Amino acid sequence: MRKDHYARFDGIVLFTRKYKEKDLLIKIFTKEFGKRMFFIKNIQRQNNGLREIAFPYMRASFVGTINDKGFSFLNDTDDVLFPKATISNIQANAYAAYMTGLTDAAFEDFIEEDKVFNLLWQGLGKIEAGVDPSVVANIFEIQLLPKFGVGPNFRSCAICGRDQGRFDYSMQYAGVLCEQHFHMDDRRLHWSPRASHFIRLFSQIPYDKLGQVDLQATTKTEIRQALDDLYEEYVGIHLKSKHFISQMETFVNPLDDKREKKYDNS
C-alpha cells in the first residue's frame, strides 16, 4: 500500500535534472528518508519559491511530501546553506560532484543512512569553508568504502596487529602490512610512506577534527593513485566526475610544489 508522508527533513541536493520543458527533477539525500527524487513544476517561473534550491551540494531543511513510490514533492525550505564558494571554484565543484556521485552509487534509494548523510553534510561544509577539496574527498571515499561492501583494514598490520611504523597495502590480506611483514605479499601495492601515512590517518579522522591541510602535489598524486587502485579492485565504478578530476589534475604543474607539508588536526 502506498503511503505519503508530509514531513520536515534535512537534505542535501545531489543533482538536478531538467524534466520536460519547464519542470525539474531534484535528487535529495534526506537524513530521515534516504535518497529521493523530487519533482518541481514550472521551475522557470520567477515567482517559484523553490528556484533557490535548484543547485547541487545545497544543504537545507525541507518541507514536503515523501512518497514511498515515484516522485516526492517539495513545499518549502529553511536554514539554507548555499554552496556559493563550491560552485564558483572549478576544483571545489569537481570534488563535490565526485562525493555526491559516490553517494548516489554506494547504496539504493529510500534507505536511511545517517552515518553517510552526516559524513557528506560535514564534508561539503568543509569544502565550502575552503579546506582542500581533494583531501576532503579522499577522506570521504575512504570512509565510504564499507557502503560498497568493502572493509579494508587500515588501522594495523593484518599479520601482527602493529599500528606504528611504515606500512604498505596488501590486496591478499585486505589490509595494511607493517614493514616486518612486507615479505608476506610479493604483490603488495608499494604505497609510498607518505601515501600510507595519510590514507591510514584519513580512514580514522572525523571531519570535525580536520583543520587546514597543506600537502605537496606529489603526495596528493600518490594518495590519488593508491585510492584509485583500491576503488578499481574493490568497487569498479567509473564516474564522469572522477574522469573530469583526472583530466583537471593533469594541468597541475609539480614544479610549482615547493611548499613544506603541514598537517593540522586541531
Structural contact between residues 39 and 23, judged by C-beta atoms closer than 8 angstroms:
yes
CA-CA distance, 219 to 216, in Å (whole number)?
5
More confident residue, 251 or 236: 236
Number of domains in the chain: 2
pLDDT at 45 over 90: no
Instruction: Flag whether 262 is in a domain.
Output: no
pLDDT band per the 50, 70, 90 thresholds, residue 67: very high
Average pLDDT over residues 123-149: 97
Residue 94 lies in a domain: yes
Range of the domain at 35: 3-80
Burial label, 171 (beta-carbon count in 10 A; 0-12, 13-18, 19+):
middle
**Is residue 263 included in any domain, yes or no?**
no
Residues 120 and 186 in one domain: yes
Does residue 229 sit within a domain? yes
pLDDT at 262: 40
**Does 138 fall in a domain?**
yes
Q: Give a yes or no: residue 106 inside a domain.
A: yes
pLDDT at 4 over 80: no
Mean pLDDT, rounded, of the chain: 91
pLDDT at 255 over 60: no
User: Confidence band (pLDDT; 50, 70, 90) for 52?
Assistant: confident
Identify the residue whose cell numbers are 553517510. Answer: 116
Q: How far is CA 44 from CA 22, 24, 142, in A?
A: 6, 9, 39
100 with 206, same domain: the answer is yes
Residue 75: CATH number of its domain: 2.40.50.140
Round to whole Å and give the CA distance between 80 and 252: 34
Q: The C-alpha cell of 161 is what?
A: 596487529
Are 184 and 110 contained in the same domain?
yes
Percent of the chain with pLDDT over 70: 93
Both 113 and 193 in one domain: the answer is: yes
Cβ contacts of 50 within 8 Å, gap of 6 or more: 40, 43, 74, 77
Determine phi and psi for 115, rounding to 5 degrees: -65, -45
Residues 161 and 218 in one domain: yes
- Note whether residue 265 is domain-resident: no
The CATH number given to whatever domain includes residue 119 is 1.20.1440.120
